Amino acid sequence: DTEVTQTPKHLVMGMTNKKSLKCEQHMGHRAMYWYKQKAKKPPELMFVYSYEKLSINESVPSRFSPECPNSSLLNLHLHALQPEDSALYLCASSGVEGSGQPQHFGDGTRLSIL
């Protein structure tokens, strides 16, 4: 069982919808990450939160809005997405950003944009 929990597992939404992806970890990790992964490609980093503050934004379009309400939770708010945003969205956590500690991934949310 993964120690990083993501909900929902699958999401289908229209281009005008607003939805949120959720991620939770109870490992005491202080760094949390959002990745996007397309088929047959490696994960691409989107955002990094370190001690609940946004540390890295990899020039992600504003239709993706991250939020870190507390040290265990990470959200990704979605609005006005495009069909090319269909992908597997992965959340990960690690002990401390920049420490070289391993990142542990959740099971992901499979997102389809109609």
Partner 1 sequence: QKEVEQNSGPLSVPEGAIASLNCTYSDRGSQSFFWYRQYSGKSPELIMFIYSNGDKEDGRFTAQLNTASQYVSLLIRDSQPSDSATYLCAMTGTASKLTFGTGTRLQVTL
Minimum distance from residue 95 beta carbon to partner 1 (Å): 12
The distance in angstroms from the start CA to the end CA of the chain is 31
Exactly one of 14, 15, 98, 114 binds partner 1 (CB under 8 A); which one? 98
> Distance (Å, rounded) from C-alpha 56 to C-alpha 87?
21
Contact status: 68 vs partner 1 (CB under 8 A): no
Which long-range contacts does 44-53 make (Cβ < 8 Å, 24+ apart)?
46/76, 47/76, 48/97, 49/74, 50/96, 50/97, 50/98
Minimum distance from residue 93 beta carbon to partner 1 (Å): 12
Pick between residue 82 and residue 99 the one whose CB is nearest to partner 1.
Answer: 99
Contact status: 97 vs partner 1 (CB under 8 A): yes
Exactly one of 21, 85, 108, 111 binds partner 1 (CB under 8 A); which one? 108
Contact status: 88 vs partner 1 (CB under 8 A): yes
3-state SS assignment for residue 84: helix
3-state SS assignment for residue 83: helix
> Distance (Å, rounded) from C-alpha 92 to C-alpha 28?
13
Contact status: 66 vs partner 1 (CB under 8 A): no
Contact status: 42 vs partner 1 (CB under 8 A): yes
Exactly one of 14, 61, 69, 102 binds partner 1 (CB under 8 A); which one? 102
